[in-house]
Structure formats: structure tokens, C-alpha cells
Amino acid sequence: MPTEPTTSSYALLGLLAIHPWTAYDLTRQAKRSMRLFWPRSEAHIYGEVKRLVGWGYATASTERTGNRERTAYAITPAGRDALRTWLATPPAGPQLEIEGLLRLLLADQGDKSDALRAVRTTRDAVTTSYGIGIEQMRAYVEGDGPFPDRVHLVALLARFYADFAEAMLDWCDVAEAEIDAWPDVRGVGLTEPTRHALEEAIARYDRRAHRARQMT
Amino acid sequence: MPTEPTTSSYALLGLLAIHPWTAYDLTRQAKRSMRLFWPRSEAHIYGEVKRLVGWGYATASTERTGNRERTAYAITPAGRDALRTWLATPPAGPQLEIEGLLRLLLADQGDKSDALRAVRTTRDAVTTSYGIGIEQMRAYVEGDGPFPDRVHLVALLARFYADFAEAMLDWCDVAEAEIDAWPDVRGVGLTEPTRHALEEAIARYDRRAHRARQMT
DNA sequence: TCGCACATGTAAATCGTTACATGATTAT
DNA sequence: ATAATCATGTAACGATTTACATGTGCGA
């Protein structure tokens, strides 16, 4: 009952609003549907759902499988109210946590193979999540997949993640090629191709800002 | 002296490897150069740098401004060693934390205006960071900007963030238009345009996977 | 000279993770 | 029957954030 609900609390409450679940099912579902945008450990979820009960947003009922207990959770009317109230508030902005890029920023303290490894490891990780996400979408277009009346929402997120993954993977290819072409990882500075790329990026930004100003 | 250094420890150590800084300058520099990929609060940095000293990776010297103390930090040879060792290990995969998308996933528990606000607020946040990043790059191409011999590294990160921001902003436009076109936020399901978009995404993934298999 | 923003931290609270533990189920 | 894996948590630890506090310099 202490402290306020966090964003993670509402995330879980939102899952309960769709359906009642056992704690373990909640961890599966959270992993399946939210991990790409809101990554939390499974152990955290076991704790968080108890807090929901403490606030009166969910009820717990214990079932029994053989000699072992398990807990099923369901949302309460107060929980639905709280969820709706939260949904009416504005979200925090996106946050990226990309250790591979951090390492690239510091790459001149190591050697070229370190920088290349950072890029390749990052690419592998994205390739894996991208593939998992796409398999889920394949199920949906084949008429499979849970809660088909919610596909329009899931599909919106999937399209974003696919765009993100494509951008990230393309960037990995470019970055790897460029690092490979450096004589060394230190002291390269502003080469002509780099200057050109930056100018392109700036021009693209300016075009967008200009378009935005024209609207209204 | 307790517990192991975290990724954030090494991030800070990497900054010290470039240059000695006062604690406050460290917070400024971390915000300027790392926040987009490794966001940490400024207060955290004050604590973290003391831990670096505890491990013998940095030394602290206190200066004085009027009646007020301030602390300057510098990396030690042991710190450089530790940093190089860390750079030789593989990074964790990228993590996204996008509350706006989380809200969209749960959007059928609220109403259409909630979903639209989630998208618009997200777009505003990205627009702001994108602009700040671009202004830094503008300084670099004009020959301004700190540590010009490191521009090749910074530019690589900038190109990624620009690509990310473009993808995210484009997606925001698409999402807003699509949500706007829904009669209601609930029960829409798999419409024909949505199915088409998903199939396109899957095909794009398959093409990429095919290309990847052809290499080697 | 008053107030406000910048500079420089500290302490407490807490969100979240890692490590552990144990019952049930399935494959071999 | 045994090993491995799935299911279902708990408890401790620690990384990070939020809130607070105070000095300093500058503009009105």
C-alpha cells in the first residue's frame, strides 16, 4: 500500500484489464507483448502485482496444482478507474539504452576490433528480437495469435519495431564498413565523407523542420 | 571499494580518459554526449565518480571557488587498464523504453484522444532531442565543437540517432493518421490495410534474412 | 540589492535485478 | 527412475532517482 504506482504498475494493470491471469502467465504475457518497449525482469512482475492488490486495483485468488499453490489475479473496478485516469495523462519521452553506441563513443580508448565487436554484437541482438517479433506477426496474419480483436494495436507497435530494427541494422552495416576503412580508431577526425554525411543529416532535419512549420 | 563497476562506471571512466573534469563538468559532458544512449541522472554521476576513486581508477583533487569547494577528477593508469579490458568485452543488446508505445498497446482501455496524445507527446519529445543533437552536429561541421579529433566517433552516433528520430517521427505520422481513421479505439481488429502493412513488414524481414544467408 | 539561475553536492527512498529455492512435468 | 526443464515464487542487494540544501554570480 505504500508509494504511488509506477509506469510498470500500470503496464501490468493494463494486462489484467484485458484478461485475468495467473502470476506466471502474466510474466509470459509481459515478456511477449511488452518487453521490446518496456523491459522488466520476471521477478519484478511477481512483486509488482502484489502491490496492485495492495492498492485495491486487483484481487488475488490462490489455486492449487498438486501440492503447489499458484495465484491468479483479476482487475477490480477501482483498478479500471485508475488505469483510465492514467491513460489520460501524457507519457514520458522515449529512452534508448544502447551500450554498443556508448562503447563506440569511447572507442578511441580501445582498438579497432573492440569497435567492430560492439557493432556486431549489437546487430546480433537486434536481429534476434526482430525475428521473434516478426514470427508473432506471422501468426497474426495467419489468423492465429491471441486476442485478435486487439491486432490493430499490436500491429502499430510491430510496425514501429520493424522500422526501428531496419534502421538499426542498416546503420550497423554502414558503421562496420566505415570503421573497417579507418586506418586506426583514433585521431581520424572529420573526414570528407563524414562531413558529407553530417551535412546530409542536417539537411534532412531542416527539411523536416520546414515541413513542420508549414503545417498550421 | 564494494561491488563491481557497472556499465555506468565505465561510461564515466571513458569520459575521464578523454580529459580530466570537475564533477559538475562531468555531469554536463555526460548529458551532452551520452544521454541519448545512456540516460542517467546528474546526481547519480556525483556518486559514481566517487566509486571510481574507491577502485583506484581515478583521483580526486579539491579546488576552491570563493568559499565553496569543488572536486576535479582525473583517470589513473589502473583506470585506463580497466577501461581497455572492459572495451574488449561484448556489449549488452539495445533496450528501448517507450512509454508512448506501451500506452498504445493498452489504448483500448481508454479513448481515442488518449491514444492520440500518447503519439503526439512522443513525437514532441523526439523532435526536441533530435533538434538538440542536430545543433551539436552543426557546430562540428562549422569547425566548432569540442575534441575535433574525435568527431568521427561522435558522427557515427549522430547518424544513428538521426536515423532513429526520422523513423520514429515518420511512424508517429502514420500512427496518428491511422488512429484518427478508426471509428473507435476498441474492437477494430485486423483490417485489410493493417494486414497489408504486416505482410509488407514480414516480406521486408524475409528479404533481409535471405540476404544475410547469402553472405557466407 | 534582490531575486533567479547556475554550480555542487548529500541523504533517503525505491525501483528493479540477481541469486536462490523448490514443486511439478516431461523426455529419455 | 533420473535428469532436465517448466512453473512459481522469495529475499537480499544495489543501482538510480527524487528531494533537498546551500553557495555564487549576474541581471534588473
Three-class DSSP labels, chain B: CCCCCCHHHHHHHHHHHHCCEEHHHHHHHHHHHHCCCCCCCHHHHHHHHHHHHHCCCEEEEEEEECCEEEEEEEECHHHHHHHHHHHCCCCCCCEEECHHHHHHHCHHHCCHHHHHHHHHHHHHHHHHHHHHHHHHHHHHHCCCCCCHHHHHHHHHHHHHHHHHHHHHHHHHHHHHHHHHHCCCCCCCCCCHHHHHHHHHHHHHHHHHHHHHHHCC
Q: Which fold has domain A7-87?
A: Arc Repressor Mutant, subunit A (1.10.10)
pLDDT of amino acid A95: 97
Would you call A149 and B188 a contact, using CB atoms and an 8 Å cutoff? yes
User: Residue A135: which H helix or E strand, with range?
Assistant: helix A112-141
- Please say whether the beta carbons of B89 and A115 come within 8 A: no
Contact criterion met (CB < 8 Å) for A129 and B175: no
Q: What is the pLDDT along chain A (216 residues), one digit of tens a residue?
A: 568 999 999 999 999 999 999 999 999 999 999 999 999 999 999 999 999 999 999 999 998 887 888 999 999 999 999 999 999 999 999 999 999 999 999 999 999 999 999 999 999 999 999 999 999 999 999 988 889 999 999 999 999 999 999 999 999 999 999 999 999 999 899 999 999 999 999 999 999 999 988 987
CB contact under 8 A, B198 and A159: yes
Q: Which residue of B has its CA nearest to A152?
A: B189
Q: Where are the domains of chain A?
A: 7-87, 99-185, 190-216
Q: Which nucleotide is nearest to B69 (CA to C1')?
A: C8
Report the alpha-carbon distance of residue A182 to residue B36 in Å, rounded.
25
pLDDT, residue A3, reads 84
Helix and strand totals (H; E) in chain A = 8, 4
The model's pTM is: 0.95
| Distance from CA(A40) to C1'(C16), angstroms, rounded | 8
CA B2 – CA A125 distance, rounded (Å): 31
Residue B1 C-alpha, separation from nearest chain A C-alpha, in angstroms: 24
pLDDT digits (tens, 9 = 90+) for B34-52: 999 999 999 999 999 999 9
Spans in chain B with pLDDT lower than 50: 1
- Going by C-alpha positions, the residue among A209, A109, A170, A182 that lies closest to residue B138 is A209
Per the CB < 8 Å rule, is B102 touching A34? Answer: yes
The three-state secondary structure class of A189 is coil
Closest nucleotide relative to residue A70's CA, C1' based: D8
Q: What pLDDT, on the 0 to 100 scale, is given for residue B123?
A: 97
pLDDT at B106: 97
pLDDT of residue B3: 86
Q: What is the pLDDT of residue B65?
A: 81
Strand (E) or helix (H) holding A59: strand A58-65
Give yes or no for A139 touching B (CB within 8 A). no
Measuring CA to CA, which residue among A197, A164, A100 is closest to residue B159?
A: A197
* Count of Cβ atoms closer than 10 Å to residue A142 Cβ: 8
Residues 40-79, chain B: which have Cβ within 8 Å of A?
Answer: none
B contacts of A140 (beta carbons < 8 Å):
190, 198
CA-nearest of B8, B6, B26, B24 to B16 is B26
Distance CA B179, CA B176 (A): 5
